[in-house]
Amino acid sequence: MSRSTYPLIAREGWLFLGVSLVVALAVTAAGGWASVPFWILALFILQFFRDPPRVVPDAPGVVVAPADGRIVAVETARDPYLERDALKLSVFMNVFNVHSNRSPVEGEVLGKWYHPGRFLNAALSKASLENERSALWLRTPSGMDVTCVQVAGLVARRILCYSEKGDRLERGERFGFIRFGSRVDVYLSPVARPRVSLGDKVYSGETVLAELPA
């Protein structure tokens, strides 16, 4: 196992947290109990942008969850990016989940796509093809292709993906962030063996989603 460490508060949240704290302090100084809703908002922002360290499995061939949340799809599907049949695994994040996204595998980024779209409830299967989304094509050292897709949700309005074509990512390495509820889809070879079921709770960079063949 290796430990993936980042600041306890994701850098994407520093501005939001700073502003909310300043406002809460100002209202406290001016109005006492009137500040309670602003402190609740600051606490919500603090928990939303938390980014705890994760212990990344180092067993060969494992695919880890790219996001915290609940499994909403374990199915055979068409990978719309690599135009192949695939095993599709989807993680739905609600507003109380950690929203840092981490690479499901070690590999080189061979492609990147961005598609504008709608903001349907990310728990719906059609969100994978109709919502705003950003996709990465990763190839593992053993030559397996993996597609990882960040999908915006009903509340989410900003997908952040920091990786580019030619980058190399470690398994569990942080590569992006989605603000305020969304999903992440992973497309694998059909011969991959899933290790999760519908409804399972998973943790990014830590929970094993599937095993790839050697």
Rounded to the nearest 10 degrees, the angle between the axes of helix 36-48 and helix 14-31 is: 170
Tell me the pairing of strands 174-178 and 69-79.
unpaired
146 assigned to some structural domain: yes
Which residues of the chain carry a pLDDT beneath 50?
2-4
pLDDT at residue 95 in the model: 79
pLDDT at residue 6 in the model: 56
pLDDT tens digits for range 148-161: 999 886 655 578 89
Please check whether residues 163 and 95 belong to one and the same domain. Answer: yes
Q: Give the list of residues 6+ apart from residue 8 with CB closer than 8 angstroms, or none.
A: 50, 51, 52
Number of separate domains in the chain:
2
Which residue range(s) make up the domain with 35?
11-48
Q: Are 145 and 38 in contact (CB under 8 A)?
A: no
CATH of the domain at 199: 2.70.70.10
135 assigned to some structural domain: yes
Please check whether residues 68 and 26 belong to one and the same domain. Answer: no
Catalytic residue set: 182
pLDDT at residue 35 in the model: 79
Reduced to 3 states, what is the DSSP secondary structure of residue 206? coil
